[in-house]
């Protein structure tokens, strides 16, 4: 049994798509599909997203934070400067990819 698991929602996939070439994105999707399935955003309880929006999160960030909490993740791995600098006191850790790799 693996010590770590990966959870990815549709919003994250769409964010990744905007930052990669078509080939890189296709490679990303193939890689993710080997490790996990992509969860659709509509599964995330609305109340969780609203909780984060009420704390001042932008809509997409609120959805990602809600998803992270909903799946019970210990860590959100992101390069998003808003998560890294602006949001403290979360029920999960926020790490860059480099810091996460070092911990693993």
Helices (H) and strands (E) in the chain, counts: 6, 4
Look at residue 1 and tell me if it is in a domain: no
Check residue 86 and give its pLDDT.
77
Q: What is the DSSP string of 13-57?
A: HHHHHHHS-HHHHHHHHHHHHHH--EEPGGGS-HHHHHHHHHTT-
Nearest to 36 by CA among 75, 65, 64, 2: 2
Residue 3 belongs to some domain of the structure: no
Is 2 part of any domain? no
- pLDDT tens-digit map of 29-82: 999 999 999 999 999 999 999 999 999 999 999 999 999 999 999 999 998 887
Q: Is residue 64 in some structural domain?
A: yes
> Based on the structure, what is the number of domains in the chain?
1
Look up the pTM and report it: 0.87
Q: Name the pairing type of β-strands 38-39 and 93-95.
A: unpaired
Distance CA 3, CA 99 (A): 17
Half-sphere exposure of 38 (CA within 13 A, CB side): 14
Q: Which domain holds residue 24?
A: 8-103
User: Could you give the 3-state DSSP secondary structure of residue 104?
Assistant: coil
58 falls within a domain: yes
Handedness of CA 46, 52, 55, 56 (dihedral sign): negative
């Amino acid at each position: 049994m693996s010590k770590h698991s990966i959870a990815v929602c549709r919003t994250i996939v769409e964010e990744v798509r905007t930052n990669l070439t078509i080939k890189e994105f296709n490679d990303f999707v193939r890689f993710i599909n080997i490790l996990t399935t992509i969860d659709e955003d509509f599964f995330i309880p609305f109340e969780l997203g609203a909780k984060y929006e009420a704390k001042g999160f932008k809509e997409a960030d609120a959805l990602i934070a809600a998803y992270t909490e909903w799946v019970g993740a210990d860590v959100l791995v992101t390069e998003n400067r808003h998560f890294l600098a602006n949001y403290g006191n979360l029920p999960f850790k926020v790490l860059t990819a480099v810091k996460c790799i070092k911990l693993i």
